[in-house]
Every structure is written in C-alpha cells, then in structure tokens.
C-alpha cells in the first residue's frame, strides 16, 4: 500500500538532513532571483497604486517556492504556472521589459492585451499562459506530459497550483489521469494558507494537501516552502524521478502570503495582523540571507549593489514599456488565425471602411 513518506516538513534551514548539490555561484544566484522578485513586486505594486497598470498580484513571503522549484528544471522542461510564478519566467529567460509590458497590455505585450495582468507566457522557454479559472492548467500539464511519454521525449511538466485549486475538479481529474498514466509531471502546490479570503481549514479536512496524492496512486511530500534549498532539493528529486519514468509527485510547499491576494484585495478583513507577523519571522529572504552569511558569501555591500542594479534595470524597462504605443484596433483581428476566416475578414474590412 502506498503511504505518505513524509509527515513532517522537509527542511534544510531548521536542521533537516537534505542533500544540496549547489556551489557558491548557484547559491548566490538563487538569492539574487528571490531578491529581484521582492524588489520587482514592490515596484509593480507602486505602479498599480499610481494608476499606471490596472492589477498586480505579489508573491511577497513566498519567493522561495517558485524560485527554488523552477531552479530544479532543465531548459527543455515545461512550466504551467498559476498566479505567483512570474519570477520563474524571468529566471528562465523572459526579458524584464516583456514581463512588465504584459501588465500594461500595450504593443510590447506578447499576448496583445488578451490576458489578465500577471498571466505571463513565454514560448521560447516553455512557460505556458494560465487562466484565472483556477486549476485549468493542471490537465494541460498532464496532457503535455502524456504526449512526452508517448514520444519518449525526456521532458517534465512542472504544474503549479495554490491551496485553493485543490478544491477544483480539474485538480482531481489531472491527479487521476497522472496517476493512471504515470506521466512525467510534478504538481507543485504553493500552499500559502489562504485562497483569497478562504482559509486552508475551510478548504479541506485532510491532514495535509500532500496526502491527497495517495488516493491517486503516487507520492506526496510536504516541504518548508520558505526554505529555498529544501524546495530545490525536493523538486529536483521529483523532477528526475519523473524524467526517469517514475511517474508523478505532488509537492506541498507550506508558505504564507504576506501581502494581499492581489492589488484588489484587503486582507485585514479576514485575517489577523498577529498571524501575518508570525509568518514574517519566517521570511524566506531573511532565512536564506542568514544561511549565506554563515557561509560568508553575503555582505551588506553586495546586497546594496544588487538592489541598486535591480532598481536601475526595472526603471529602464518601465521607461521602455511606457514609451511603446498602445495596441491598435486591428489587433483584435490580426495574430489570431494563421489565415483570417471570412467572417472576421468581413468585420476587419468594415472597420477599415469606418475610418
């Protein structure tokens, strides 16, 4: 009988016995990406408050989860994200200007303003757009992984979800097919305790989210989602198991959403400030910084240089994006079909005549 192997959180920072195969440059690289996400989130939220973009969802307090997990992938692997994995898109090669342009929806936006802000997509690195209809990316990931298995293509799908998505039918359908077909997919649940205003205890009666994998015939693991090294190690093992034909894994990364669900949310209406302060003590950036300090590979000077460089790069990217013209009305019709069908052609022609 398949059983949940880990009932305790897998951790490195709190004395866990986890093998880490990262050198100094890689450790600093992980910290750099986590810091960029933190700095960028604040800058983007400021833009929203100034009315320069319409919406933004930060990942403050959760940076270790998307960065640590995506760092375990190979370039050919695919990511099917949810709301808070934009940092993984940047880390895998999405230009900063295109990331920011997606939130403006202007002529620099690869998606031509057809997606909600923070719904990134970047084809060159297999980063697939997601839908605000929660959980729909999970069957897509399983389908991609099934195709890879049929083609004997050694690629893995990393499918992200939040704790709220485990209440959606698509989650269970995806888990069932993944278990039956034993496809190379890793489900990564970023359990930040709140599905907007619905707490975890109101989502499930299960003792954990990871244990849900057992019913579908594969392994579930719980990891300290604020411990970037533990996240990396657990995800790497699951990814390589999947690549080698060992089937899927569900990883539950236990973390916390320090900020609001999005720029449209007021979390003070449904949770206490005491709860938030308790989780701030487990800030993933601060914990990793202390680890690097102990290794003597972090300094105040380096931190200041990084922040100055990041803010300059973000400012330049914002300037580039805001200088781009808006989308034209023609964009409604173009870049939709390879060959425009007759009924759209008629509407397009009518638009042209009306000018």
How many whole angstroms separate alpha carbon 36 and alpha carbon 309?
10
140, 104 Cβ separation under 8 angstroms: no
The catalytically annotated residue of 119, 257, 282, 287 is 257
The stretches of 218-341 forming alpha helices (DSSP H) are 228-243, 273-280, 284-294, 300-323
Q: Give SS3 for 86.
A: helix
The catalytically annotated residue of 38, 119, 261, 282 is 261
257 is catalytic: yes
Positive or negative torsion for Cα 81, 84, 85, 90 = positive
230, 17 Cβ separation under 8 angstroms: no
Q: How many CB atoms lie within 10 A of CB 309?
A: 13
The catalytically annotated residue of 49, 270, 278, 337 is 270
Closest CA to 149 of 245, 77, 275: 245
What is the greatest pairwise CA distance in the chain? 71
270 is catalytic: yes
How many whole angstroms separate alpha carbon 37 and alpha carbon 62?
10
Element (H, E) at 189: strand 185-191
289, 31 Cβ separation under 8 angstroms: yes
CA distances 168 to 174, 181, 215, 275, Å, are: 10, 21, 16, 26
How many whole angstroms separate alpha carbon 302 and alpha carbon 300?
5
34, 284 Cβ separation under 8 angstroms: yes
Mutual orientation of helices 284-294 and 228-243 as an angle, nearest 10°?
100
How many whole angstroms separate alpha carbon 69 and alpha carbon 228?
8
343 is catalytic: no
DSSP state of 325: P
Active site amino acids: 257, 261, 270
């Amino acid at each position: 009988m398949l059983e949940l192997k880990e009932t305790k959180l897998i951790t490195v920072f709190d004395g866990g016995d986890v093998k880490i195969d990262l050198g100094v440059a890689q450790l600093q690289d992980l910290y750099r990406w986590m810091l960029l996400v933190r700095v960028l989130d604040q800058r983007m939220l400021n833009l929203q408050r100034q009315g320069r973009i319409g919406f933004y969802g930060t990942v403050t307090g959760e940076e270790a989860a998307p960065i640590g997990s995506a760092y375990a992938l190979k370039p050919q692997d695919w990511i099917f994200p949810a709301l808070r994995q934009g940092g993984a898109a940047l880390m895998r090669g999405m230009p900063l200007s295109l990331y920011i342009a997606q939130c403006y929806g202007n002529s620099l936006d690869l998606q031509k303003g057809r997606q909600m802000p923070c719904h990134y997509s970047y084809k060159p690195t297999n980063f697939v757009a997601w839908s605000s209809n929660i959980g729909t990316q999970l069957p897509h990931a399983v389908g991609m992984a099934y195709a890879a298995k049929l083609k004997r293509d050694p690629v893995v799908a990393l499918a992200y979800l939040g704790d709220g998505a485990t209440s959606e039918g698509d989650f269970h359908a995806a888990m069932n097919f993944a278990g039956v077909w034993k496809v190379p997919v890793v489900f990564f649940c970023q359990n930040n305790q709140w599905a907007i205003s619905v707490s975890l205890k109101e989502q499930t009666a299960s003792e954990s989210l990871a244990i849900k994998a057992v019913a579908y015939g594969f392994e579930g693991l719980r990891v300290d989602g604020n411990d970037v090294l533990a996240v990396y190690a657990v995800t790497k093992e699951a990814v390589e198991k999947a690549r080698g034909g060992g089937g899927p894994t569900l990883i539950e990364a236990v973390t916390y959403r320090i900020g609001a669900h999005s720029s449209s949310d007021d979390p003070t209406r449904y949770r206490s400030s005491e709860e938030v302060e308790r989780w701030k003590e487990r800030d993933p950036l601060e914990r990793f910084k202390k680890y690097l300090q102990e290794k003597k590979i972090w300094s105040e000077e380096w931190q200041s240089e990084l922040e100055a460089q990041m803010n300059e790069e973000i400012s330049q990217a914002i300037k580039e994006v805001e200088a781009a013209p808006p989308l034209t009305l023609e964009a409604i019709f173009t870049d939709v079909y390879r060959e425009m069908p007759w009924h759209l052609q008629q509407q397009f022609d009518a638009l042209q005549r009306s000018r």
